[in-house]
Chain A
Amino acid sequence: DSGVTQTPKHLITATGQRVTLRCSPRSGDLSVYWYQQSLDQGLQFLIQYYNGEERAKGNILERFSAQQFPDLHSELNLSSLELGDSALYFCASSAAAKHYGYTFGSGTRLTVV
């Protein structure tokens, strides 16, 4: 157990729908990161939050949004889902904002049908 908890582990939904992925970071970690892993794009950075504030943004689609709450858990919202959004979504956390490796959660496998 890495200490980073992601729920749900699996999600199957239809095109056009909206889903929310949840992440609880390791105890004491202030930074949360979201990554998407797909067969064609590999592992892509989506967004980073540090202590509730957005810190860095990657190639995150406008249909996707995220936030980090005061208790430091984070949610990734995916809306108007398309078949191409099917992927493994990872959350990771680290103690600091920069220069550290992260601990990844076990991921949420999203299948859009």
Chain B
Amino acid sequence: AQKVTQAQTEISVVEKEDVTLDCVYETRDTTYYLFWYKQPPSGELVFLIRRNSFDEQNEISGRYSWNFQKSTSSFNFTITASQVVDSAVYFCALSEANNAGNMLTFGGGTRLMVKP
């Protein structure tokens, strides 16, 4: 069965600090997909990134970067020079290729608070 664990329920940082959100997953499939979503206070879920299990290259998009390590089943997310607008709940999710459909299993989320 697939499972995603985000051990950090809440993180508080001061603006301009770097912060890393941890994500650990469990799956028996060799082919799977990992995602990060952002849920700002307004409530919508915003897609940030999708990564397949065969691509372990780290990715950087502006102040955001992702570190995928199959050896530790982790897909961590780092925000560099955090800003108040980064305050949100961040969800890591997993989709197994052998699923009949495209179900995402979400972690419990990490609430990030960036203080000015």
| B105 at the A interface (CB under 8 A) | yes
| B70 at the A interface (CB under 8 A) | no
Interface size on B, residues (CB 8 A): 25
- Residues of chain B having any CB pair with chain A under 8 Å: 33, 35, 37, 42-47, 50, 52, 91, 95, 97, 99-109
- Residues of chain A having any CB pair with chain B under 8 Å: 2, 31, 33, 42-43, 45, 48, 50, 55-56, 58, 88, 90, 92, 94, 96-107, 109
Show 30 A/B contacts (Cβ-Cβ < 8 Å), sorted by A: A33-B103, A42-B106, A42-B107, A42-B108, A42-B109, A43-B91, A43-B106, A43-B109, A45-B104, A48-B102, A55-B101, A56-B100, A56-B101, A56-B102, A88-B43, A94-B102, A98-B101, A99-B95, A101-B33, A101-B47, A102-B47, A102-B104, A104-B44, A104-B46, A104-B47, A106-B42, A106-B44, A107-B44, A107-B45, A109-B43
